Amino acid sequence: MTLTVDITSERFEIAGGFTISRGSRTHAQVVVVSLADGTHQGRGECVPYPRYGETLESVQTQIEEITPLLKEGLSRQALLEAMPAGAARNAVDCALWDLEAKQSGKRAAEIAGLGALKPVTTAFTISVGTPEVMAEKTRAAAHRPLLKVKLAGPGDDERIAAVRQSAPDSTLIVDANEAWDESCFERNMAACKAAGVELIEQPLPSSADGLLAEIRRPVTICADESLHPGKSLDGLGEKYDAVNIKLDKAGGLTEALKLFNEARTADFKVMVGCMLGTSLAMAPAVLIAQQADYVDLDGPLLLAEDRSPGLKFEGSLLYPPEPALWG
């Protein structure tokens, strides 16, 4: 059986834009891989991650280089050796999962040895802005049970206080995207504790996070950028209480499932996260989300328009994907 391989890039407008400590965006840019055997088609989506030097062009080139092996029937396990961890491998791996599900008539969850998938509650992200702007955005989302607040370093104490005042009943988690340093760390940490924040994601740069091993951590600290693509969990336990597993960094669902089990064995709490993509990118991560402590798969909720068919959301309740979408 020879597969047909199709690689495309797509752009989706972000509703109202999206800002983190490293900059702003108006569109989500994704790469989609389609694998077809003449009867069945499997698809996977990835989002190149500039933090690790990925671009649309570099990701597409990586996939093109592996295309001859895919046409010959490269397996998911062999893929782990044939490509490095990252966005390109994620798109290919998820397409292989989807194709296998379509060919076998089984759901991807069954192939993975999981039970029937259930709806999960996802976080909803509040972008970085002034305290006043963030308070306004938070008021519009205050009905949601779990909010993820993007922070940016100095002034985060005022930002998180404004968010908490605007959403007194929501569970809050925050993500600094490596923006804190010693000049604001203690103040921001105290503000998060005072606001009842449950988890702080990547407060310090991965190259300077040794401080986390030296202090008492009054709030759960989660590794994101410090969990580098293709790297193990070794050494993170001294500094972090949780890890954020993203398929684009793990290099696909196959590796992410393995990483999830390793994290549990090492007594980490687990967040399943995402880059800013469509329902096709979120769908495989719903398998990891079933047993995660925190779910952050709100990419489609942040877009002006998702792909169709997409995932079903009822407020912040995310339903498992239907076969027409993935898996």
Distance CA 250, CA 94 (A): 12
Strands 269-273 and 294-295, by their bridges, are: parallel
- The DSSP line for 82-98 is HS-SSHHHHHHHHHHHH
What's the pLDDT at 21?
67
Q: Which residues are annotated as catalytic?
A: 150, 246
Distance CA 17, CA 24 (A): 7
Q: Which residues of the chain have pLDDT under 70?
A: 1, 21
Give span(s): CATH 3.20.20.120, the chain.
120-318
pLDDT digits (tens, 9 = 90+) for 286-304: 999 999 999 999 999 999 9
What's the pLDDT at 1?
67
| Cα–Cα distance list, 289 to 8, 60, 89, 248, 325 (Å) | 27, 28, 20, 15, 17
CB 24 within 8 A of CB 17: yes
What's the pLDDT at 160?
98
By C-alpha distance, which of 61, 48, 74 is closest to 246? 48
CB 290 within 8 A of CB 117: yes
By C-alpha distance, which of 2, 57, 69 is closest to 31? 57
pLDDT digits (tens, 9 = 90+) for 29-59: 999 999 999 999 999 999 999 989 999 999 9
Rg over alpha carbons for the chain, rounded to the nearest Å, is 19
- CATH match of 120-318 with 3.20.20.120: yes
Give span(s): CATH 3.30.390.10, the chain.
4-105
Alpha helices in 168-284 (DSSP H): 185-194, 247-250, 253-265, 279-282
Rounded to 5 degrees, what are φ and ψ at 212? Answer: -65, -25
4-105 — its CATH code?
Answer: 3.30.390.10
Distance CA 247, CA 141 (A): 26
